[in-house]
Amino acid sequence: MKNIVLFNPKASKYGNPVGAPLGLLSICRNINRDKFNIKIYSSWIDSDYKERIINDCKNALCFGVTSMTGYQITEGLNISKIIKKHYPNLPIIWGGYHPTILPEETVSNVNIDIVVRGQGEVTFNELINFLSENKDYSDIAGITFKKNKNIISNPNRMIADINSFNDMPYDLINMQKYIHVSRIGSKTIEYVTGFGCPFNCGFCVEPKFYGGKWSSLKAERVVNELEHLVKSYNIDSVQLQETNFFVDEERVRKICLGLIERGIKITWGDANGRAPQLVKYNKETWELMKKSGCKNILIGAESAIQDILNLLNKRANIEDTINIADISSKYKISVTFSMMIGIPPDKKLAITPKQELKAILSLSKKIMTKDMSHVILIFTYTPYPGTRLFSKSLEMGYIAPNNLEAWGEVELHKHTTPWIKTKDIHLLNYLTNFVFRYISTSGQQYIRRQKNLFKKFYLSLARLDAHLRWKTNYFGFLWEYWLYSVILKIRSGIMK
């Protein structure tokens, strides 16, 4: 029986990420496990992953890597180089967001042989079956590959209904290693009920990846799977890792009713949605959400300036952001509002990143004054290939990486756009990582759940400091940001 060896790199070299490798688990849903032995490794969980992958690849059919734009590329390439050196004839397959957006550039790397583009469940299954039978795979839809020194991209594969796939094979990994403390529970894991999004925001890569399609598991199946996860792993909470959970209000209602009727004791949160949709949800749906265990919703508010929302094709307005904060508060459901500064400058608007940040702080005051359970996240706009604003960024002076290795250097907290000042990036990183994180009551709950007394102590100090900053409105001399940066560098191994 041949091994299928798969690797999930961490998204950033800073900090300790959490989360099960859902993408890799998903592409293994329909694989015949009587025929193949599947091995999945995560760099932040398996400290000896290099040695184990090298050993497993001795009897492997292929080696696969999933990657988004950024540090995952760097880690993925490092191990791919090692495997290619040890086993020159072993097919190395890459998939995920970045390889899908730039497949030719990805596969042109000497350490990569095939790219699986877009939804990989059907394509990857077909590919490994062809490889195991030594059949010509050159006509498989949805792949890009090298042949006789030429790069060939086959036509896209049609998006399949997620309900046609088997359940997520959590048993392929040691789930106990992936259960973690979160702001919504003490034993949290990640879960996905659907993929894609029917909207077309200018900064988002999702339309390119799924073609504007949205597919979701039926409500009954979601309830069945959550019941299984609770019973199998003794979890108390799930974080929903998908682009838009709230597209279909009736499906949300059925999921909530199912959890309530079966008495499934679980909290759920980080459910991504759009304010214009959620403000239209009826009162009964909100009550069901609360009763079924909803603790937190993630809203991409993006900006506090209406002209920018229009430019982003967000199809939302500032009032939606304020209203959803008020509505959710009535049901004691906190909202995490994700915003950004530094979109490519528009001559007609003439809005600077400093003005964007000032508007966000003003809006944040309105939100947090009413309810301290809400959380604000602020990021710098980062140009990603495959998005509508990417070409605009190039016009405004952004210099895009020109090879796969260089794309590995793209990080959310790195200064890559010439129109954003470094001091503005430092301030928003400070606001996100200290002030907004710890003034929120959900941050307080997260601190209380910590079992490590030393960690609980220094997080409590950070919370006191954040409250002082917020009350005094003084954000000068950011010594905490400097200390935070040093700690990140130490933890990431940069400083020896």
| pTM given for the model | 0.89
How far apart (Å, rounded) are the C-alpha atoms in residues 97 and 410? Answer: 14
Q: Please, what's the largest Cα pairwise distance for the chain?
A: 68
Q: Can you give the pLDDT at residue 99?
A: 97
In this predicted structure, the answer to whether residue 492 has a pLDDT above a threshold of 70 is no
Mean predicted confidence (pLDDT) in 256-262: 98
Give me the chain's average pLDDT, please: 91
Task: Catalogue all structural domains in the chain, each as residue range(s) with its CATH number.
Answer: 2-153 (3.40.50.2300), 166-491 (3.20.20.70)
pLDDT band for position 432 (cuts 50, 70, 90): confident
Please give the pLDDT value at position 496: 37
pLDDT (mean) for 238-264: 96
Report pLDDT digits (tens) over 30-41: 999 999 999 999
Give the mean model confidence (pLDDT) for residues 5-21. 86
